[in-house]
Amino acid sequence: MLVFDHVTKRFGANTAIDDASLTINPGVITAIIGPNGAGKSTLVNMAAGSFRATSGRILLDGVELQALPKYRVARAGLSRTYQNIRLFDGLTVLQNLEVALVPRSLPRLIAQALRMTGRDECETRDACRAVLNRLGIAHLADRHAGSLAYGQQKLVELARAVVPRPRAMLLDEPAAGLNHGETDELKAHIQALRSPDLAIVLIEHDMKLIMSVSDEIYVLAQGSVLAHGTPEAIRDNRQVQEAYLGQPGAMGNIEAAARGRRNRVRIRAGEGLAWGQP
Ligand SMILES: Nc1ncnc2c1ncn2[C@@H]1O[C@H](COP(=O)(O)OP(=O)(O)O)[C@@H](O)[C@H]1O
Ligand SMILES: [Mg+2]
């Protein structure tokens, strides 16, 4: 279980996360939605050890993640994808996955050097290939990541998050920029990743995707949890609808706008969808 316990994050005078508490359960898909700037990526960055919380605790199976260096957070069982793709363009797809498994502490490196046989390497490679296979991109294993189409790179990012067999996997806008078909494919993959031991967090603007795959939704607005519930409860929540557009019935408009190529450009104020932001 991944818990954000009264977490606050300030960047100078800007309070990005304001006393937010979330409980993310294994076995289910938990969506976090909210307007741009709500603090969604900041939650991921804090959990993954990129930012330290100003106050509050983030716990994975009772282990306080904020007390760990970044590489230990990954070893503690947390993996994530980035809103903006971060692959090594000059490495092959397989190498990008293997990098995710490289031990980053010196003692482990030494231990591994003493232990590591050709067989271990093969096992690692086989595990990576198995994940590529599951995501339908095994044929891309030896291609340079930089040479792939955008949608393929998004899947490689997902594969890289799956390979370490995490306990919690945080996906930051995995469908952004994908077309209809690619989004459907991604949806199937996310559903297939569901497992009793894995907590999946899905951050998205595509309401159709969110409503169809998530079991629970947190709505974040200006760094605070505005609402939490089932997709149905969130869809019918008047407060949430007002936060999105300032009027009830707004969810349908959001969904319509998020469909297809339009989600390439994330919904932002000024595009006709304001999420109640100034
Ligand atoms: N590294 C950073 N330095 C300063 N401010 C940041 C940084 N990252 C995010 N912020 C600020 O924190 C707030 C939340 O941003 P973010 O978490 O990216 O929102 P979201 O992912 O919901 O769009 C925004 O006001 C943003 O400007
Ligand atoms: Mg973000």
Which CATH number do you get for residue 129?
3.40.50.300
Distance CA 126, CA 98 (A): 10
The token pair at 55 is: 């106050």
**What pLDDT does 107 receive?**
59
b/e code 36-59 from CB counts within 10 Å (16+ = b) = ebbbbbbbbbbbbbebebeebebb
Q: Work out the pLDDT band at 273, boundaries 50, 70, 90.
A: very low
* 275 domain residue, yes or no: no
From 7, 40, 42, the mutation candidate for ligand 1 (largest count of ligand atoms within 8 A of CB) is: 42
CB distance 84 to ligand 1 below 6 Å = no
- Ligand 2 geometric centre to CA of 223 (Å): 12
Helix (H, G, I), strand (E, B) or coil at 197: coil
* 272 domain residue, yes or no: no
CB distance 43 to ligand 1 below 6 Å = no
Q: Which one is predicted more confidently, 33 or 245?
A: 33
* 184 domain residue, yes or no: yes
**AA identity, residue 212:** S
- The pLDDT tens digits of the residues spanning 76-96 come to 999 999 988 899 999 999 999
- The pLDDT tens digits of the residues spanning 145-174 come to 999 999 999 999 999 999 999 999 999 999
**In 183-251, which ranges are E strands?**
199-203, 216-221, 224-229
**What pLDDT does 117 receive?**
56
Main-chain phi, psi angles of 154, to 5 degrees? -60, -40
CB distance 44 to ligand 1 below 6 Å = no
* 20 domain residue, yes or no: no
Distance CA 157, CA 155 (A): 5
Domain that holds residue 247: 2-15+26-259
- 38, 223 contact by CB (below 8 A): yes
Counting the structural domains of the chain, the total is: 1
* 40 domain residue, yes or no: yes
Is the pLDDT at 5 greater than 50? The verdict is yes
Q: Work out the pLDDT band at 70, boundaries 50, 70, 90.
A: confident
- Ligand 2 geometric centre to CA of 40 (Å): 5
Q: Closest ligand 1 atom, CA of 12?
A: 4
- The pLDDT tens digits of the residues spanning 216-253 come to 999 999 999 999 999 999 988 888 877 765 555 556 65
Distance CA 108, CA 74 (A): 14
* 114 domain residue, yes or no: yes
Q: Closest ligand 1 atom, CA of 34?
A: 22
- Ligand 1 geometric centre to CA of 38 (Å): 8
**What pLDDT does 112 receive?**
62
CB distance 42 to ligand 1 below 6 Å = yes
**Residue with CA closest to ligand 1 atom 17:** 39
- 79, 71 contact by CB (below 8 A): no
* 270 domain residue, yes or no: no
- Ligand 1 geometric centre to CA of 106 (Å): 33
193: exposed, middle or buried (C-beta count within 10 Å: 0-12, 13-18, 19+)?
middle
- 244, 250 contact by CB (below 8 A): yes
Main-chain phi, psi angles of 255, to 5 degrees? -60, -45
* 78 domain residue, yes or no: yes
Q: Work out the pLDDT band at 24, boundaries 50, 70, 90.
A: very high
- Ligand 1 geometric centre to CA of 39 (Å): 6
